[in-house]
Amino acid sequence: MSDLLVMLVVFTASSAIGYVMISKVPQRLHTPLMSMTNAISASTIIAALLLFSSKLDSPHKVLAAAAVALAAFNVIGGFTVTGRMLKMFKKQ
Partner 1 sequence: MNNAANIAVDIAIILVLIAGISRFRTPAGARFGNAMAALALLFAVAVALYRNPMLSSNATLAAFALAASSLAAWRVSAKINMTRIPSLVAFQNGAGGLAALLVAIVEMSGAGPAPGAVASAAAAVSVSLGAATFSGSMIASLKLSGKIRQTPTVVPGHNIALLFLSAACAAAAALLFAPGDPTSALVSLAFLSLAFGALFSIRIGGADMPVLISFLNAATGMAAAFCGIVIQNRLLIACGAVVASSGFILTMVMCRAMNRSLMNIIVGGKAPARPPASSPATASSPELTAAPPAPVAASQPEQPAADPLSLAADALRAAKKLIVIPGYGMAIAQAQSETVALAGMLEQAGTEVKYAVHPVAGRMPGHMHVLLAEADVDYDKLFEMDDINAEFAETDVALIVGACDVVNPAAKEKEGTPISGMPVLNAGDARSVIVCNFDDKPGYSGVPNPLYERPNAILLFGDAKATLASLIAKLK
DSSP per-residue codes, 49-72: HHGGGS---HHHHHHHHHHHHHHH
Minimum distance of partner 1 from residue 45's CB (angstroms)? 6
> Could you give the CA distance from residue 70 to residue 85 in angstroms, rounded to a whole number?
22
> Could you give the CA distance from residue 10 to residue 43 in angstroms, rounded to a whole number?
15
3-state SS, one letter per residue, for 69-83: HHHHHHHHHHHHHHH
